[in-house]
């Protein structure tokens, strides 16, 4: 147990052994911190419970239950120690307690003072230790070898600790993920489900359905007396398939069948847990009356025991006891025991329940932490998700019954808050103060940084959850607006100290010049992205509000923490504060020192003043009120007013440096210039708490001017808004590209200068050597470059640019990189807000930008970045897909993530589709159909454009509907979009609420399939500048996949059933159902009436609920990222062991900060496992290369690789569970994790598990993408390699043939990909013994490689050697056949001659046995000297010819064909003088073949040891 404790403590202690990673000139500098010295063991003494059943007896007597020994780190606190104690089997039952040092009497009669700290706090023996006290401080008075002991001392109860005791017992008897847990109230159905363990154990069939078997279990009947015997009950239990492996039923191309939606597994059944209590609830007699409260009464609990008794338990200050109360009458006096005495209160509620109910003890002993049996499910798959939004399945079954009776569910609020009524509810959490208070925590050391980021991630996660609940409350109309007199679209709400506004209705016309509602919606999305970026930068002294976006039921809601002072008019007070600040600068600076930190020195209060030049003497005749809190930026309500603040500007300089933003001047209404780094529209406000807050962070990036000038308006179709920004990722990519170009320029100039100097010095040999070097470099580049295909001019240009960028640069001649400067002006080309006196038109509701001078480098950089996006970034994406360097693009979500990571906005999907078309053209630019990877990419791009257009239309249709009407609208929309082939004219249903006779028919009732398609085509053309062919909807639309995308990304949960998208599909499924019905038991004559056939694909009852979609602004953790990146760089430098240690340390920090169940943690698990897999493959290749170069001195191929593959496997399995629970069971990243796990399992030597995972990956591809994707062939090929390893050569050949057929249809017969598949197929044919087929495929591969790669390429040479070897084998077989035919002919002739010779000598052999003839010779012991001619004749007659010397002539033709290959000139064996019996057995074919012939076989072609599947 102590080892487990130590293991649990490792993540906490890692903060002490971590290294700081500082960025120095672009490189990581790792500074070693002194490692914390571990303390000696710490012993914790525990009290003994009253009931003997409370703590189970230890199996080993050496493990006492009254003390616990742990090995904590020095910096762990008493609170950390208590968490460990609570989870131990010997202390789970404890009530409220404290930790104390053993009592030693001091001089004053109290406990002895051991330590007195600087803050005058004392550590005394026998007195309660502060829960935040560190272990090293608690035992600072002891020597290093002193015994460290803590005692657990019971503490009196209060109401809070009484409620905590009830919550604690609920955790024990009703753990999450079990049937006993009935108190959860999720926002949607089946949150955080996983199926990994079902996949791992093979309990899912190939079709995705769980296999069950009926077993009998004995359960107590609950009856007393004779009827109390245990009853046998039949239940279903999931069982593993009895197939030999997961691909045993695979049938090649016919084996790919789309899994029906009704049979898709989305969750595994919860653990069956027997209830420990019938019920437990807060007694209706609560709260205690004042006179009993005075006597110490804290809480009344009503518990129904399994034995049938219902008791009322009273909690007092001393503990718990059973009262004489019944359900209807309250009597607080204690119930007497069997002896007639009143027992003393029991301090622990759990201890009391053990003494009251033996069944409680029996059943609790089977649950954690008491159970000694390993859990049937991994705890990570069942525990509650603490800090991440759980994934909700898009298909789910309606729970039956819909809900269960659980009165405690409605009492959880009281248990958590202690509020009996509205008047006693505590004030809501001050989210803003919590967030900003945590941001102000110290971060000087690694431990402080880890603690600070952990608390920040926790509070952000809790804020997101509170925002979701608040939005649902507001959306239902339960909260009144704080501005009810204004337009409903402009209503603002305040709930749980969260400020909530609508994010897609520009009721105040703040975005009228940019596009109105559409611009406002995009603006809030960009604002959230900017806040997330600023949160990651984490500039000291600059604060951001808590910020979350929630999209639900067609509306976007903006949730923010409350800016201090935002609801108060403090203009006069601010002016007074400014006057006081001017008169007392030094005192104010000292006063504000705690909350203002600017760089390394405190800012002066004169700089804190909001400066608006000319504002003091301006009279606002128009009645516009200035915002008294604004101190920085342009006031959007008064565009001529520019605020500027020196301290804020200094903070923004840090942001500008990080984001490469240029300092630029902005003029106010008076013509006075002010300098800004970010856009002047980014506002700085000073709250009443003295902190500086940034708002409206959408303008942290510059404008995409090329889109506004070239794509905003085409054919009178205007883009919905003008708020088109460049992504920060693009600016980073463009900056790096320009840096490389600058470095090449500097290097070329330096080289030219060197060449000029060399020519002056007459160094003639420099020229030829340089030419040779260039030639060698070019050869090396050709050898390592991607295989060249016949490419279009666009692909050639992109490849040429890539090759130019990747040319190596001599860093020694560049000098200081700081000489390079490229910054962007975020105010360049920005449309101006029109003032009231300015004139605008409907066609141009904005004022043109005043910053357009491209002679300014920062303005030109904005233009160049916008051009770079179109001309370089988009073609680079297509080039990477074309060359196979990009993988994992399965659906629109993965495409979106990939494009955003490359800095490409989704409005460029149309440009991306056109670029794919250009790359698919012929060498002369002629149009060709897309093939291979480009065809798959274009299909995903088209699907994504249709999805996004559909999402916009659906959002418009349902945004103003009642919740019960939304189900009708969504089902009709899906029928028009996906079910038109099933019913070409679906009819909409609308049930008026009945509150008015003038209820209008909603817009969705007028929707038809034709009108929807036209609307989608128009929307795609408007938003993506691309025209979709209407035939695409019928011919190429992947309806199952589009349904999944809409459900997952729009937030819809559908009932799980087989949706029929076509009439043919419906008829086939009907026939299947008929066959199933006919095959059922014939004894059941009363067949049920067939289900009524559906009129439409979707019905309103199929739409179960709409799930909120959350966009959080919580950034990734920086401290763990730095250590993880340091680990990667260390590995790249060759220090593998140290690098892996760094990665593990960073991984543990991720777990500590995020908690384990978080998608970021799953990603890090996957990265570590991938690193282990790549290193293992690299080591295997090195061993193989050494064996080829030096066979005698090569290392043993079976020796360990020196890598912890078992840890990588464990982490990869956890990554899958976490991904399924937080991202989704059918998610692109989950599929990638499964594939990596399959590769690792194969590497570790677990082929059966690898095949299970490969089969599941194919199912994921089917659900997410569908068939016909090149990466599916990769999965099949790797599965084939694994099958070959377990000698399933015939099935492996079936898979490889399927891969070849698919590759041929996707890429054509001359593509390099086809050649590689043929090369793999050659090996499969050879292992199956089909030499001719192996030669044919190898020759085809050789033709492709020779044409594409050239004769000298290494891969061409390898295939060429295989062809030569196969030809030699086949030629040898042919020669052997010819030799055998000739030998047969000679044998017949010799046999004929022998017969004639025997007849001439008397014909005595006829009718006699050979043995009797041979026995006439002389010799002893049955050995005779046989006439060679006679022996040859007899052997030929028996079919085993030998020559005259007694040697076997040759193997038969059939034997040669069966062996596949025979070594030419081989000597099978030599026979001399033998006994007659042995000769007869040999001639009659009873002799065993030689061992050498048996060893020779089909593996001759294997030139190198196969080292596992290759992706």
DSSP string, 1431-1493: HHHHHHHTT--B-TTS-B----HHHHHHHS---TT-------S-BHHHHHHHHTT-SPPPHHH
pLDDT at residue 1503 in the model: 39
φ/ψ of 918, rounded to 5, equals -65, -40
pLDDT at residue 1153 in the model: 94
Query: 1088-1127: string of b/e by CB count within 10 Å (b at 16+)?
Result: eeeeeebebbbbbebbbbbbbbbbbbbbbbebbbbbbbbb
pLDDT at residue 845 in the model: 77
Cis peptide before 369 (omega within 30 of 0): yes
Cα separation of the two ends of the chain: 42
Report residue 920 as tokens.
């698919």
Dihedral sign (CA 369, 372, 373, 374): positive
- CA distances 794 to 799, 876, 923, Å, are 9, 11, 9
User: Residue 964 in contact with residue 948, Cβ under 8 Å?
Assistant: no
pLDDT at residue 926 in the model: 83
Report residue 859 as tokens.
């303005």
CA distance 1214 to 434: 32
pLDDT tens per residue, range 1055-1100: 999 999 988 765 444 444 444 444 444 444 445 555 567 889 999 9
pLDDT at residue 1414 in the model: 40
- CA angle 545-550-553, nearest 5°? 155
pLDDT at residue 373 in the model: 80
CA atoms within 13 A on the CB side of 591: 11
pLDDT at residue 832 in the model: 85
Write the Ramachandran bin of 807: left for phi over 0, alpha for psi from -120 to 50, otherwise beta.
beta
DSSP-assigned letter for residue 128: B
| β strands within 148-229, DSSP E | 148-154, 212-220
DSSP-assigned letter for residue 340: S
| Sole residue written with tokens 């016919």 | 254
CA distance 242 to 1254: 18
CA distance 1356 to 1342: 6
pLDDT at residue 1390 in the model: 86
User: Residue 1324 in contact with residue 1498, Cβ under 8 Å?
Assistant: no
Report residue 5 as tokens.
């404790």
| Sole residue written with tokens 């040319």 | 807
Q: What angle in degrees, to the nearest 10, is found between the helix axes of 159-173 and 349-356?
A: 50
pLDDT at residue 1491 in the model: 45
CA distance 189 to 1104: 9
Residue ranges of alpha helices (H) inside 764-852 are 766-784, 793-805
φ/ψ of 237, rounded to 5, equals -125, 135
- CA distances 1012 to 555, 720, 974, 977, 1028, Å, are 21, 19, 10, 7, 13
Which residues are CB-neighbours of 654 under 8 A, at least 6 positions away? 537, 539, 542, 599
pLDDT at residue 165 in the model: 95
pLDDT at residue 1045 in the model: 96
- CA distances 460 to 412, 872, 1150, 1244, Å, are 23, 37, 16, 40
Strands 395-396 and 492-495: unpaired
Which residues are CB-neighbours of 1483 under 8 A, at least 6 positions away? 1410, 1434, 1435, 1438, 1440
DSSP-assigned letter for residue 382: T
CA distance 544 to 456: 13
| Sole residue written with tokens 């009703």 | 174
User: Residue 1225 in contact with residue 381, Cβ under 8 Å?
Assistant: no
841 CB burial (10 A radius; 0-12, 13-18, 19+) = exposed
User: Residue 944 in contact with residue 1016, Cβ under 8 Å?
Assistant: no
User: Residue 566 in contact with residue 738, Cβ under 8 Å?
Assistant: no
**Spans of the chain, pLDDT less than 70:** 1-39, 119-120, 205-243, 254-256, 422-427, 569-626, 762-790, 810-813, 815, 836-843, 1065-1092, 1192-1199, 1401-1511
**How far is C-alpha 576 from the chain's CA centre?**
54
CA distance 585 to 606: 7
Which residues are CB-neighbours of 116 under 8 A, at least 6 positions away? 122, 123
**Residue 499, SS3 per DSSP:** strand
Report residue 1428 as tokens.
């060679």
CA distance 1457 to 1376: 9
**Residue 566, SS3 per DSSP:** coil
Report residue 574 as tokens.
């601010």
CA distance 1321 to 1315: 10
775 CB burial (10 A radius; 0-12, 13-18, 19+) = exposed
CA distance 1414 to 337: 108
Strands 395-396 and 1052-1055: parallel
Which residues are CB-neighbours of 248 under 8 A, at least 6 positions away? 1291
What's the whole-model pTM score? 0.83
Pick from 695, 1037, 714: which is nearest to 907 by CA?
714
DSSP-assigned letter for residue 889: -
CA distance 99 to 90: 16
CA distance 359 to 275: 10
User: Residue 232 in contact with residue 218, Cβ under 8 Å?
Assistant: yes
CA distance 882 to 1218: 32
CA distance 1021 to 907: 11
């Amino acid at each position: 147990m102590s080892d487990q404790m130590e293991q649990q403590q490792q993540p906490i202690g890692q903060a002490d052994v971590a290294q700081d990673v500082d960025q120095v000139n672009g490189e990581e500098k790792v500074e070693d911190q002194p490692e914390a010295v571990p303390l000696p063991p710490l012993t914790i003494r525990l009290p003994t419970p009253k009931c003997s059943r409370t703590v189970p007896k230890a199996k080993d007597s050496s493990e006492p239950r009254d003390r616990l020994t742990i090995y904590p780190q020095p910096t762990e606190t008493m609170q950390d120690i208590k968490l460990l104690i609570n989870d131990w089997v010997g202390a789970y039952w404890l009530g409220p307690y404290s930790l104390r040092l053993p009592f030693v009497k001091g001089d004053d009669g109290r406990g002895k003072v051991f330590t007195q700290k600087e803050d005058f706090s004392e550590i005394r023996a026998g007195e309660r230790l502060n829960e935040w006290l560190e272990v090293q401080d608690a035992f600072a008075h002891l020597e290093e070898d002193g015994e460290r002991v803590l005692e657990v001392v019971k503490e009196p109860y209060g109401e809070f600790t009484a409620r905590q005791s009830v919550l604690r017992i609920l955790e024990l008897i009703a753990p999450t993920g079990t049937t006993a847990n009935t108190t959860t109230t999720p926002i949607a159905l089946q949150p955080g489900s996983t199926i990994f363990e079902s996949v791992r154990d093979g309990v899912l069939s190939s079709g995705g359905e769980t296999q069950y078997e009926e077993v009998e279990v004995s359960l107590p009947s609950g009856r007393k007396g004779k009827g109390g015997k245990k009853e046998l009950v039949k239940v279903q239990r999931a069982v593993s398939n009895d197939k030999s492996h997961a691909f045993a039923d695979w049938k090649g191309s016919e084996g790919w069948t789309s899994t029906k939606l009704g049979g898709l597994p989305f969750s595994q059944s919860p653990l069956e847990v027997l209830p420990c209590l019938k019920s437990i609830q807060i007694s209706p007699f609560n709260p205690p009356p004042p006179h009993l409260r005075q006597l110490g009464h804290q809480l009344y609990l009503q518990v129904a025991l399994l034995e049938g008794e219902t008791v009322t338990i009273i909690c007092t200050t001393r503990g718990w006891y059973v009262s004489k109360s019944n359900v209807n009458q309250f009597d607080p006096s204690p119930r007497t025991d069997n002896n007639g005495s009143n027992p003393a209160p029991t301090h622990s509620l759990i201890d009391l329940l053990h003494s009251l109910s033996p069944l409680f003890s029996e059943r609790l002993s089977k649950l954690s932490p008491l159970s000694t049996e390993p859990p049937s499910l991994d705890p990570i798959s069942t525990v509650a998700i603490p800090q991440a939004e759980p994934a909700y399945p898009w298909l789910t079954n309606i729970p039956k019954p819909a809900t269960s009776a659980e009165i405690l569910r409605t009492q959880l609020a009281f248990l958590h808050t202690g509020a009996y009524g509205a008047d006693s509810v505590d004030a809501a959490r001050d989210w803003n103060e919590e967030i900003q208070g945590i941001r102000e925590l110290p971060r000087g050391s690694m431990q402080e940084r880890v603690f600070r980021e952990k608390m920040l991630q926790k509070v952000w996660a809790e804020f997101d959850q509170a925002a979701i609940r608040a939005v649902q409350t507001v959306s239902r109309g339960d909260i009144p607006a704080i501005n009810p007199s204004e337009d409903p679209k402009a209503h603002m709400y305040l709930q749980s100290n969260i400020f909530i506004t609508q994010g897609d209705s520009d009721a105040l016309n703040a975005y009228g010049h940019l596009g109105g509602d559409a611009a406002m919606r995009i603006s809030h999305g960009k604002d959230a992205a900017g806040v997330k970026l600023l949160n990651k930068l984490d500039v000291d002294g600059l604060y951001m509000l808590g910020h979350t976006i929630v999209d639900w039921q067609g509306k976007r809601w903006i949730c923010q923490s409350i800016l201090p002072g935002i609801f108060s008019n403090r203009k006069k007070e601010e002016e007074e504060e400014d006057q006081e600040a001017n008169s007392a600068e030094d005192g104010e600076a000292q006063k504000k020192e705690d909350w203002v930190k600017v760089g390394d020195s405190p800012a002066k209060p004169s700089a804190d003043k909001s400066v608006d030049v000319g504002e003091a003497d301006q009279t606002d005749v128009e009645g516009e009120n200035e915002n008294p809190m604004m101190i920085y930026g342009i006031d959007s309500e008064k565009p001529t007013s520019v605020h500027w603040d020196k301290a804020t500007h200094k903070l923004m300089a840090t942001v500008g440096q990080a984001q490469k933003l240029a300092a630029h001047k902005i003029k106010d209404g008076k013509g006075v210039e002010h300098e800004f780094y970010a856009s002047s529209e980014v506002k700085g406000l000073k709250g009443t708490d003295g902190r500086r807050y940034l708002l409206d962070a959408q303008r942290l990036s510059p404008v995409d001017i090329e889109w506004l000038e070239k794509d905003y308006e085409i054919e009178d179709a205007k883009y919905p808004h003008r708020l088109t920004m460049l992504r920060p990722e693009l600016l980073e990519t463009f900056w790096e590209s320009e840096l490389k170009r600058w470095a090449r320029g500097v290097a070329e100039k330096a080289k030219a200068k060197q060449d000029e100097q060399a020519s002056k010095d007459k160094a003639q040999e420099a020229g030829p050597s340089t030419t040779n070097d260039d030639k060698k470099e070019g050869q090396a580049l050709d050898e390592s470059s991607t295989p060249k295909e016949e490419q279009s001019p666009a692909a050639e240009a992109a490849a040429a640019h890539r090759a130019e960028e990747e040319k190596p640069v001599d860093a020694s001649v560049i000098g200081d990189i700081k000489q390079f400067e490229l910054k962007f002006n975020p105010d360049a080309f920005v449309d101006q807000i029109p003032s009231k006196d300015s004139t605008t038109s409907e066609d141009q509701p904005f004022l043109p930008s005043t910053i357009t001078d491209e002679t300014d480098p920062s303005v030109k950089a904005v233009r160049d970045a916008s051009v770079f996006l179109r001309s370089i970034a988009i073609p680079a994406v297509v080039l990477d897909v074309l060359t196979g360097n990009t993988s994992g693009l399965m659906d629109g979500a993965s495409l979106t993530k990939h494009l955003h990571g490359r800095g490409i906005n989704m409005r460029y999907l149309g440009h991306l589709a056109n670029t794919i078309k250009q790359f698919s053209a012929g060498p002369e630019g002629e149009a060709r159909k897309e093939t291979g990877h480009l065809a798959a990419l274009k299909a995903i791009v088209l699907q994504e454009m249709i999805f996004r257009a559909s999402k916009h239309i659906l959002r418009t249709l349902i945004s103003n509907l009642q919740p019960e009407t939304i189900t009708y609208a969504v089902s009709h929309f899906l029928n028009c979009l996906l079910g038109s082939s099933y019913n070409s004219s679906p009819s909409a249903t609308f049930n008026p609420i009945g509150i008015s006779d003038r209820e209008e028919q909603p817009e969705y009732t007028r929707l038809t399939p034709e009108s929807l398609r036209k609307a989608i085509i128009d929307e795609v053309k408007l938003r993506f500048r691309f025209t979709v062919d209407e035939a695409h909807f019928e011919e190429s639309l992947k309806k199952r996949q589009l349904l999944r995308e809409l459900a997952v990304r729009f937030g819809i949960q559908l009932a799980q059933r087989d949706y029929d998208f076509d009439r043919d599909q419906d008829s086939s499924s009907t026939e299947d159902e008929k066959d199933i019905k006919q095959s059922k038991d014939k004894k059941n004559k009363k067949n049920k009436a067939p289900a009524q056939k559906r009129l439409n694909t979707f019905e309103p009852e199929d739409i179960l609920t709409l799930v909120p979609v959350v966009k959080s602004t919580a950034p990734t953790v920086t401290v763990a990222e730095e250590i993880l990146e340091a680990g990667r760089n260390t590995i790249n430098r060759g220090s593998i062991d140290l690098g892996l240690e760094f990665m593990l340390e960073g991984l543990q920090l991720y777990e500590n900060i995020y908690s384990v169940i978080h998608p970021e943690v799953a990603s890090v698990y996957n990265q570590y496992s991938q690193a282990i897999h790549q290193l293992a493959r690299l080591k295997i290749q090195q061993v193989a290369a050494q064996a080829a170069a030096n066979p005698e001195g090569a290392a043993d191929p079976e020796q360990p690789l020196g890598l912890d593959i078992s840890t990588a496997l464990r982490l990869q399995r956890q990554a899958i569970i976490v991904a399924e629970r937080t991202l989704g069971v059918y998610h692109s990243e989950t599929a990638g994790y499964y594939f990596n796990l399959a590769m690792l399992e194969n590497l570790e030597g677990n082929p059966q598990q690898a095949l299970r995972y490969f089969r599941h990956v194919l199912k994921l591809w089917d659900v997410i993408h569908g068939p016909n994707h090149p990466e599916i062939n990769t999965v099949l090929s790797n599965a084939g390699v694994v099958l070959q390893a377990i000698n399933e050569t015939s099935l492996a050949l079936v898979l490889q043939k399927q891969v070849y057929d698919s590759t041929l249809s996707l890429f054509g017969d001359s593509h390099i990909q086809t050649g590689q598949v043929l090369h793999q197929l050659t090996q499969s044919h050879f292992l199956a013994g089909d030499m001719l087929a192996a030669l044919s495929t190898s020759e085809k591969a050789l033709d492709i490689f020779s044409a594409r790669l050239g004769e000298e390429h290494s891969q061409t040479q390898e295939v060429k050697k295989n062809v030569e070897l196969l030809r030699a084998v086949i030629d040898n077989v042919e020669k052997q056949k010819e030799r055998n035919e000739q030998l047969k002919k000679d044998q017949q002739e010799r046999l004929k001659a022998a017969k004639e010779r025997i007849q001439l000598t008397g014909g005595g052999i006829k009718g006699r046995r050979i043995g009797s003839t041979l026995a006439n010779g002389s010799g002893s012991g049955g050995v005779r000297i046989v006439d060679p001619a006679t022996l040859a004749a007899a052997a030929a007659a028996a079919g085993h010819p030998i020559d005259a010397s007694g040697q076997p002539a040759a193997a038969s033709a059939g034997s040669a064909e069966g062996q596949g290959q025979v070594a030419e000139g081989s000597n099978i064996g030599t026979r001399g003088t033998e006994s007659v019996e042995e000769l007869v057995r040999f001639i009659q074919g009873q002799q065993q073949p030689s061992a050498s012939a048996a060893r020779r076989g089909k593996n001759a072609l294997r030139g190198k040891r196969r080292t596992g599947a290759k992706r």
